[in-house]
């Protein structure tokens, strides 16, 4: 390089020009994301209209005009309807939810025994939270406690009859309690059963394969309502006279069998996605069928289908609300049952109860789906093809 | 597997029968069959015994008995003097009606939502996302209750109906709209309509052949629309406007005339459409995102316009991804229509349940349910498989 010493040549770099005014800042963002084309502008205006029609009335209904406290229907009715609210009032009746809260949670479970349910929930949380956080060690022990010991302890605690605990019949159970019992048992039974069915469907033994295919396809082809009807009407016919099952147990069997058929198809998807080389590699190492399946194939297959498994769990959680149809009262069923409570009958009662129940269901399902996204990212080892 | 068999044959004399995978497989299957047979034998024995004790005759002859209950919504003539069999058919038709209209609405709404989630417009994207996240995470039964108890049952009585455009009304008893009454000669319109569809199919075929041969395109869409709208319109004018409307009229306590859609149907239909649309939206989004970006870039490089790119490059490939899960959503909607029983819409499960309670023929009714739903599933998936085979790209 020659060295120039010319005064008209710059020795240092010029400072960067600021970006043109049109491409930065709020105005540019609005122009790019909301008003890029005339069609976009029209869409934005339409969207704003939708938002204006939905959000402010909802906030007004749910918070500003809502009736938070009260002892009976007069607090949630207008004067014309025989209540205390001004005519034309429209607001959520949270007083109804407030008054019925313990019923929504526990059904008709005796109030002086509620501590048993709360203790069970605490045990569940204590066992479930470390299970869900990947960093915490001793997953094996935790799993045994959660899926082996906890159900037994929880059953004894909730049902009673031992250790001086008064017995509480399952028809008294209700509300979120039944929803959670059905989903927990459904989830813990349907995953292993679904894996067994999926393995059976891919088995080389024709008889086993046929049985699994028939079961899976028959269950997937019919609505859960009919499965529950079967469990509640046909099951007693199948048993010898005098032998009866608890209604909750029958619903549990129906829900678990139903979910396991869907789970089987999800797991089968994962099994099919494992390259053949993995199976052959395991065979060449001399592993037995169960070693090959348990150590090589399933860990990879299940990881691939985590979103599908969680979706099935979410579906199961939502489907537990259908037990209302066979006369059991889960969260939604209890809410529905209370519409006919004369002391709370008002035009705002049903919608308030339903919005509350919807919010609870939404929290659980949304939580599960977020957790599945987190796990999917965490377990992603970059082998995605 | 081959290596195992060879190993097994080499060591045939030394390996005991217990460790031969083939023998073990056969033995295991025999055990399974035996266990299953024993279980079935036990169940059948118990069932026969229970039925005998309850004095229930098995078989389907009960279907000829008098039903004795009324059904509020019926497409075919039905009264409480009709047979059980007819009641179940009424229920089946109701299931099919709500499933078909629900599928159509859910598809339209779902495609809008799915495209909305990929929109360049921030607001549209957010609204679609909120819609999907809300409806995917609440039970369909709750959505049905929401419409039925929360919205439709708090509508005013017929006296204070809401007046909607085109002479229709909305009140607590349902939605009323003018009923079209076709006069004499209206068959001509139907004939013209069928003819128009046949002609546009023919034109589309010819146009595609010509495009394949010469590369010249032909405005198929506009021609078809012109044919399908124009021909029946011509027939309508030619036959002397054979159409009049029966408008619903307001009297003191009720609305008379017109066509009434009951709130039960409305609640079920709206709930199923809104609920399923969220899932269809996600499927559509995944389908469009699944098409490689290189495809549209290559299409632009070839000089195709954005609309052409979308219609001829992106959508056909997205459809391949979309159709299989879409089929299962349609089946889900059909199966979810069985929730009708919770609000008293007389679908197959609801009428079947009433029959079951009256006659005690649990097994027969459940068999009818299973046959019908499995049949609907098979028909839907057969149709969608045919459609899928048509849409699938032909590879070399």
| pLDDT in the model for residue B273 | 94
Per-residue pLDDT band for A366 (boundaries 50, 70, 90) equals: very high
Neighbours of A53 (CB within 10 A): 10
Domain limits for position B262: 84-178+247-391
Chain A environment of B121 (Cβ under 8 Å):
33-34, 36, 40, 43-44, 47
Q: 3-state secondary structure string, chain A?
A: CCCCCCCCCCCCCCCCCCCCHHHCHHHHHHHHHCCCCHHHHHHHHHHHHHHHHHHHHHHHHHHHCCECCCCCHHHHCEHHHCCCECCCCCCCEHHHHHHCHHHHHHECCCHHHHHHHHHHHHHHHHHHHHHHCCCCCCHHHHHHHHHHHHHHHHHHHHHCCCCCCCCCCHHHECEHHHHHHHHHHHHHHHHHHHHHHHHHHCCCCHHHHHHHHHHHHHHHHCCHHHHHHHHHHHHHHHCCCCCCCCHHHHHHHHHHHHHHHHHHHHHHHHHHHCCHHHHHHHHHCCCCHHHHHHHHHHHHHHHHCHHHHHHHHHHHHHHHHHHHHHCCCEHHHHHHHHCCCHHHCCCCHHHHHHHHHHHHHHHHHHHHHHHHHHHHHHHCCCCCC
With respect to residue B159, please indicate whether it lies within any of the assigned structural domains. yes
Name, in order, each residue with C-beta under 8 angstroms of B341's C-beta and a sequence gap of 6 or more.
Answer: A225, A325, B347, B349, B350, B353
Which region among A132-141, A310-319, A352-361, B279-288 has the lowest average model confidence (pLDDT)? A132-141
With respect to residue B160, please indicate whether it lies within any of the assigned structural domains. yes
Chain A environment of B378 (Cβ under 8 Å):
221
| pLDDT in the model for residue B69 | 77
Chain B nearest CA to A42, separation (Å): 10
Both B48 and B107 in one domain: the answer is no
Residues B150-185 have pLDDT tens digits of 888 777 777 777 777 777 777 777 787 777 777 777
Name, in order, each residue with C-beta under 8 angstroms of B75's C-beta and a sequence gap of 6 or more.
Answer: B90, B93, B94, B97
Per-residue pLDDT band for A3 (boundaries 50, 70, 90) equals: low
- Distance CA(B100)–CA(A108), nearest Å, equals 40
Closest Cα to residue B94, out of B297, B276, B334?
A: B334
Neighbours of A320 (CB within 10 A): 28
Beta carbons of A238 and B362 less than 8 Å apart: no
Q: What stretch of H or E contains A23?
A: none
Question: In terms of CA atoms, which chain B residue is nearest residue A314?
Answer: B137
Locate all alpha helices (DSSP H) within chain B, ordered by sequence: 2-10, 21-54, 84-117, 122-136, 140-145, 187-214, 220-238, 263-289, 293-301, 306-308, 315-336, 348-359, 362-391
Question: In terms of CA atoms, which chain B residue is nearest residue A363?
Answer: B137
Q: B residues 315-354 near A, CB within 8 Å? A: 335-336, 338-339, 341-342, 349, 353
Beta carbons of B3 and A365 less than 8 Å apart: no
Both B346 and B269 in one domain: the answer is yes
| pLDDT in the model for residue B11 | 47
Both B30 and B157 in one domain: the answer is no
With respect to residue B358, please indicate whether it lies within any of the assigned structural domains. yes
CB half-sphere exposure, B308, CA atoms < 13 A? 11
Per-residue pLDDT band for B104 (boundaries 50, 70, 90) equals: very high
Report chain A's C-alpha Rg in angstroms.
29
Beta carbons of A357 and B121 less than 8 Å apart: no
The CATH number of the domain holding residue B260 is: 1.10.3720.10
Q: Which fold has domain A173-379?
A: MetI-like fold (1.10.3720)
Which region among A59-63, A88-92, A182-186, A360-364 has the lowest average model confidence (pLDDT)? A88-92
| pLDDT in the model for residue B78 | 77
- Distance CA(B204)–CA(B217), nearest Å, equals 11
On the question of pLDDT at B102 being above 90, the answer is: yes
Both B15 and B96 in one domain: the answer is no
| pLDDT in the model for residue A385 | 40
| pLDDT in the model for residue B393 | 60
Question: In terms of CA atoms, which chain B residue is nearest residue A313?
Answer: B137
Which region among A362-376, B59-73, B100-114, B226-240 has the lowest average model confidence (pLDDT)? B59-73
% pLDDT > 90, chain B: 15
Beta carbons of B373 and A40 less than 8 Å apart: no
Name, in order, each residue with C-beta under 8 angstroms of A184's C-beta and a sequence gap of 6 or more.
Answer: A124, A151
% pLDDT > 70, chain A: 97
Chain A nearest CA to B36, separation (Å): 10
Beta carbons of B145 and A336 less than 8 Å apart: yes
Per-residue pLDDT band for B2 (boundaries 50, 70, 90) equals: very low
Both B298 and B366 in one domain: the answer is yes
Q: What average pLDDT does range A87-106 have in this prediction?
A: 82
Both B158 and B19 in one domain: the answer is no
Using the 8-state DSSP alphabet, how is residue A107 labeled?
Answer: B
Closest Cα to residue A145, out of A136, A154, A134, A135?
A: A154
Backbone angles phi, psi at B182, to 5 degrees: -85, 125
Both B96 and B42 in one domain: the answer is no
Note whether B83 contacts A: Cβ–Cβ < 8 A: no
Q: What average pLDDT does range A284-307 have in this prediction?
A: 87
Both B143 and B260 in one domain: the answer is yes
3-state secondary structure of B163: strand
Per-residue pLDDT band for B392 (boundaries 50, 70, 90) equals: low
Chain B nearest CA to A325, separation (Å): 6
With respect to residue B217, please indicate whether it lies within any of the assigned structural domains. no
- Measured torsion, CA atoms of residues A111, A117, A122, A124, in degrees rounded to the nearest 10: -160
Number of residues assigned to chain B: 396
| pLDDT in the model for residue B394 | 61
Averaged confidence pLDDT in chain A: 84
Mutate to test the interface with A, among B29, B141, B352 (most CBs of A within 10 A): B141
Which residues are B181's β-sheet partners?
B244
Question: In terms of CA atoms, which chain A residue is nearest residue B153?
Answer: A347
% pLDDT > 90, chain A: 10
Q: What average pLDDT does range A33-39 have in this prediction?
A: 82
Chain B environment of A365 (Cβ under 8 Å):
136-138
Residue pair A220/A292 in contact by the 8 Å Cβ criterion:
no
Cα–Cα distances in angstroms (integers) from residue A85 to residues A18, A66, A81, A350, B261, in the given order? 59, 11, 9, 17, 33
Residues A220-237 have pLDDT tens digits of 888 888 888 888 888 777
Residue pair A322/A226 in contact by the 8 Å Cβ criterion:
no
Question: In terms of CA atoms, which chain B residue is nearest residue A50?
Answer: B127
Mutate to test the interface with B, among A47, A348, A369 (most CBs of B within 10 A): A47
Averaged confidence pLDDT in chain B: 82
∠ CA A28-A33-A34, rounded to 5°: 100
Q: B residues 358-377 near A, CB within 8 Å? A: 362-363, 366, 369-370, 373-374, 377
Q: Where are the domains of chain A?
A: 105-168, 173-379
With respect to residue B224, please indicate whether it lies within any of the assigned structural domains. no
On the question of pLDDT at A144 being above 90, the answer is: no
Report chain B's C-alpha Rg in angstroms.
29
Nearest to A354 among B120, B140, B145 (CB): B145
Mutate to test the interface with A, among B4, B137, B263, B271 (most CBs of A within 10 A): B137
On the question of pLDDT at A48 being above 60, the answer is: yes
| pLDDT in the model for residue B221 | 77
Both B381 and B262 in one domain: the answer is yes
Residues B179-195 have pLDDT tens digits of 777 777 777 788 888 88
Both B105 and B42 in one domain: the answer is no
On the question of pLDDT at A241 being above 50, the answer is: yes
Per-residue pLDDT band for B280 (boundaries 50, 70, 90) equals: very high
Number of domains in chain B: 2
Both B120 and B262 in one domain: the answer is yes
Chain A environment of B127 (Cβ under 8 Å):
47, 50-51
Note whether B149 contacts A: Cβ–Cβ < 8 A: yes
Closest Cα to residue A74, out of A338, A340, A344?
A: A344
Mutate to test the interface with A, among B22, B132, B142, B147 (most CBs of A within 10 A): B142
3-state secondary structure of B149: helix
Backbone angles phi, psi at B79, to 5 degrees: -140, 175
Chain A nearest CA to B172, separation (Å): 12
Q: What stretch of H or E contains B251?
A: none
Which region among A62-76, A365-379, B251-265 has the lowest average model confidence (pLDDT)? B251-265
Beta carbons of A44 and B124 less than 8 Å apart: yes
Cα–Cα distances in angstroms (integers) from residue B248 to residues B155, B159, B176, B182, B255, in the given order? 18, 13, 7, 17, 6
Both B9 and B110 in one domain: the answer is no
On the question of pLDDT at B395 being above 60, the answer is: no
Mutate to test the interface with B, among A46, A93, A222, A363 (most CBs of B within 10 A): A222
Per-residue pLDDT band for A5 (boundaries 50, 70, 90) equals: low
Q: What average pLDDT does range A181-186 have in this prediction?
A: 90
């Amino acid at each position: 390089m020659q060295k120039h010493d010319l005064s008209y040549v710059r020795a240092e770099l010029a400072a960067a020009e600021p970006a043109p005014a049109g491409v930065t800042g709020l105005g540019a963002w609005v122009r790019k994301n909301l008003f890029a084309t005339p069609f976009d502008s029209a869409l934005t205006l339409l969207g704003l209209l939708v938002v204006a029609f939905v959000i402010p009335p909802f906030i007004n209904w749910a918070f500003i005009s809502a009736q938070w406290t009260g002892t009976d229907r007069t607090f949630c009715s207008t004067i014309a309807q025989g209540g205390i609210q001004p005519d034309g009032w429209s607001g959520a009746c949270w007083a109804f939810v407030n008054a019925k809260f313990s019923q929504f949670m526990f059904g008709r479970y005796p109030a002086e025994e509620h501590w048993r349910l709360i203790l069970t929930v605490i045990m569940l949380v204590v066992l479930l939270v470390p299970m869900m956080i990947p960093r915490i060690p001793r997953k094996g022990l935790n799993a045994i406690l959660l899926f082996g010991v906890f159900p037994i302890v929880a059953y004894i605690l909730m049902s009673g009859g031992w250790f001086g605990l008064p017995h509480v019949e399952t028809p008294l159970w209700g509300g979120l309690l039944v929803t959670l019992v059905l989903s927990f048992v459904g989830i813990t039974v349907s995953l292993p059963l679904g894996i067994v069915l999926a393995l059976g469907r891919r088995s080389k033994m024709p008889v086993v394969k046929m049985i699994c295919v028939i079961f899976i396809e028959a269950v997937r082809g019919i609505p859960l309502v009919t499965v529950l009807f079967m469990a509640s009407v046909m099951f007693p016919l199948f048993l010898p006279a005098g032998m009866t099952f608890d209604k909750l147990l029958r619903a549990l069997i129906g829900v678990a069998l139903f979910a396991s058929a869907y789970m089987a198809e999800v797991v089968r998807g994962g099994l099919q996605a494992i390259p053949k080389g993995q199976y052959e590699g395991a065979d060449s190492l001399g592993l037995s069928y169960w070693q090959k399946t348990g150590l090589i194939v399933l860990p990879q297959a299940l990881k691939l289908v985590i979103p599908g498994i969680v979706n099935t769990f979410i579906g199961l959680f939502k489907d537990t609300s259908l037990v209302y149809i066979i006369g059991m009262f889960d969260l939604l069923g209890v809410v529905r049952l209370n519409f006919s409570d004369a002391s709370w009958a008002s035009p705002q009662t049903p919608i308030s109860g339903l919005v509350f129940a919807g919010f609870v269901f939404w929290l659980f399902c949304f939580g599960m789906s977020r957790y599945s996204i987190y796990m999917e990212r965490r377990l992603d080892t970059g082998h995605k093809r | 597997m081959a290596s195992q068999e060879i190993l097994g044959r080499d060591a045939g004399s030394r390996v005991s029968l217990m460790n031969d995978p083939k023998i073990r497989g056969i033995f295991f299957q025999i055990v399974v069959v035996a266990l299953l047979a024993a279980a079935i034998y036990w169940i059948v024995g118990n069932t026969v015994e229970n039925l005998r004790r309850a004095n229930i005759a098995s078989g389907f002859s009960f279907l000829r008995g008098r039903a004795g209950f009324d059904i509020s919504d019926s497409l075919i003539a039905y009264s409480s003097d009709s047979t059980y069999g007819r009641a179940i058919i009424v229920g089946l038709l109701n299931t099919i009606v709500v499933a078909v209209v629900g599928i159509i609405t859910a598809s339209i709404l779902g495609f809008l939502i799915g495209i909305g989630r990929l929109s360049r417009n921030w607001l549209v994207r957010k609204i679609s996302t909120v819609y999907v996240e809300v409806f995917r995470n609440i039970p369909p039964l709750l959505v049905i209750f929401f419409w039925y108890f929360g919205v439709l049952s708090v509508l005013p009585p017929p006296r204070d109906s809401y007046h909607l455009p085109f002479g229709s009304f909305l009140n607590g008893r349902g939605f009323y709209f003018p009923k079209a009454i076709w006069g004499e000669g209206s068959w001509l319109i139907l004939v013209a309509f069928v003819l128009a569809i046949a002609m546009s199919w023919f034109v589309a075929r010819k146009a595609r052949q010509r495009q394949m041969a010469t590369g010249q395109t032909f405005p198929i869409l506009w021609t078809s629309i012109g044919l399908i709208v124009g021909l029946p319109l011509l027939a309508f004018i030619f036959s002397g406007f054979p159409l009049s409307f029966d408008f619903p009229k307001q009297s003191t306590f009720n609305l008379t005339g017109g066509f009434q859609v009951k709130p039960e149907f409305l609640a079920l239909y709206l709930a199923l459409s809104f609920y399923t649309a969220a899932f269809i939206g996600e499927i559509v989004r995944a389908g469009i995102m699944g098409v490689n970006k290189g495809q549209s870039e290559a299409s632009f490089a070839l000089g195709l316009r954005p609309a052409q790119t979308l219609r001829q490059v992106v959508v056909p490939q997205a459809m391949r991804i979309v159709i299989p899960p879409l089929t299962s959503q349609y089946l889900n909607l059909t199966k979810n229509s069985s929730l009708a029983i919770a609000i008293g819409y007389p679908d197959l499960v609801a009428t079947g349940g009433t029959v079951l309670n009256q006659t005690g023929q649990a097994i027969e009714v459940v068999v009818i349910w299973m046959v019908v739903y499995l049949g609907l599933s098979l028909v839907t998936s057969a149709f969608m498989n045919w459609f899928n085979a048509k849409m699938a790209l032909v590879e070399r």
